[in-house]
Amino acid sequence: MAMSRAAAATGAVTRRRLGATAARSMASWFGHVEPAAKDPILGVTEAFLADPSPDKVNVGVGAYRDDNGKPVVLDCVREAERRITGNMNMEYLPMGGSIKMIEESLKLAYGEDSQFIKDKRIAAVQALSGTGACRLFADFQKRFLPDSHIYIPTPTWANHHNIWRDAQVPQRTFTYYHPESRGLDFSGLMDDIKNAPDGSFFLLHACAHNPTGVDPSEEQWREISHQFKVKNHFPFFDMAYQGFASGDPERDAKAIRIFLEDGHQIGCAQSYAKNMGLYGQRAGCLSILCDDEMQAVAVKSQLQQIARPMYSNPPVHGALIVSTILGDPELKTLWLKEVKGMADRIIGMRKALKQNLEKLGSPMSWEHITNQIGMFCYSGMTPEQVDRLTNEFHIYMTRNGRISMAGVTTGNVAYLANAIHECHAVII
Ligand code: KET
């Protein structure tokens, strides 16, 4: 709104009276703002894009690429878009998002015939992809259980720390990975579950743990679930890779189903970034299983109230794509085939990377490359070795040694293996 002339004049007088010092500080409102640290994952993409080398390889961000290294739009998504075009309006979605998309998401996570869905016991809202779902939950946790903590696995997706930090929920960590075996530290994990105060919140990766690619076995999940019951802990599942672990979304929901069978109340963050390739559409869902329908209505209304001043309501296009695909048996079948295709290509690249390293005469064991699952291989390389890979070979990856297998292709796998061999295998 334009300022009246009188008000502008008063402002000018006030500024003169404040004197030179105040004027200087007014001129630099943000002079004290230091540049933020680079994001450990998305910062890698920025560095990759800035590198002019024709040899460069990006195995940083967990984003699927085809065998030519190109981003993929799934056929089911293209078909859904074709059906949507000209058929939609641009109205706001409700604060909680698309009801249809939420219904379909719940079926994926909780099971097609879930009694919890029938009993309307699940409070769920469409979220800004997996990140937004986690953030909404963290804010909800802070608001309604202000004294609670969140237990986060070591290691985890770096952004988990930021999300719960910004929601002002204090964090603790629990043991997860066993560096020597490059597998799960199951006894350490169980000890930490037992030693946490009763009724603690735990963040669990539902499948395809990021960054390690190491998941508990079904039997181990059962033991974890049992111990959660004994301790009355709350499991919050981040499910960003449903379908990417085994190639089958139903199988990848197994951990959640075990917890449900055991009578836990759970929270779940779902993302369609990876499994539908909808990265930039920000399509996801947050759900919380409640005691009964009345509680679910209350919880949902509170989640909406958290969303309203933050972004008001979620975007419509990605939600429509999701509900169109999952709501149509033919498109859903196509989607399942395409998810499996992506998972299989990654599994193939794991084998190829391992074989290439062995062919080079690497004396080390590379079994973990094929034992680990999902998008990532947690290579065991040190930050210094990763720096060498980047500086000498133009290979971009996170400094924790994580390789996004989704960025490995028939064309770059030999180059990658050779560089790893140079920087890693011979040093240790
Ligand atoms: N949880 C996990 C475990 C995860 O790896 C990601 C993304 C997300 C949630 C969030 O995804 P969203 O796009 O908000 O649905 N991970 C990859 C991308 C990123 O860091 O943003 C990654 O680890 O490379």
- Of 215, 221, 252, 274, the catalytic one is 274
Whether residue 155 is preceded by a cis peptide bond, meaning omega within 30 degrees of 0, is yes
Parse the chain into domains and list their residue ranges: 40-72+343-426, 93-327
Which helix H or strand E contains 216, and what residues bound it? none
In the prediction, which pLDDT does 361 show? Answer: 87
- Of 139, 157, 164, 215, the catalytic one is 157
Q: Rounded CA gap, 261 and 279, in Å?
A: 31
Q: How much is the average pLDDT of 153-169? A: 98
Here the tokens at position 84 are: 């949507």
Active site residue 274: yes
- Centroid of ligand 1 to alpha carbon of 103 (angstroms): 23
Which helix H or strand E contains 201, and what residues bound it? strand 201-205
In the prediction, which pLDDT does 110 show? Answer: 98
Q: Could you report the per-residue pLDDT of 358-397, keeping only the tens digit for each?
A: 999 888 889 999 999 999 999 989 999 999 999 999 999 9
pTM of the model: 0.92
Active site residue 238: yes
For a pLDDT cut of 90, what percent of the chain falls above it? 86
Centre a 10 Å sphere on the Cβ of residue 223 and count the other Cβ atoms it contains: 16
For ligand 1, what atom is nearest to the CA of residue 128? 14
Q: Could you report the per-residue pLDDT of 174-192, keeping only the tens digit for each?
A: 999 999 889 999 999 999 9
- Centroid of ligand 1 to alpha carbon of 118 (angstroms): 30
| CB-based pocket (< 6 A), ligand 1 | 41, 61-62, 129-131, 157, 159, 205, 210, 238, 240, 271, 273, 279, 284
CATH fold, domain 40-72+343-426, is Aspartate Aminotransferase, domain 1 (3.90.1150)
Domain 93-327 carries which CATH code?
A: 3.40.640.10
- Residue 9 confidence class, pLDDT cut points 50, 70, 90: very low
Q: Could you report the per-residue pLDDT of 212-270, keeping only the tens digit for each?
A: 999 999 999 999 999 999 999 999 999 999 999 999 999 999 999 999 999 999 999 99
Handedness of CA 345, 348, 353, 354 (dihedral sign): positive
- Centroid of ligand 1 to alpha carbon of 384 (angstroms): 24
Question: Which residue, judged by its Cα, is nearest atom 16 of ligand 1?
Answer: 62
Q: Which amino acid is at 420?
A: I
- Residue 324 confidence class, pLDDT cut points 50, 70, 90: very high
Q: Could you report the per-residue pLDDT of 113-148, keeping only the tens digit for each?
A: 999 999 999 999 999 999 999 999 999 999 999 999
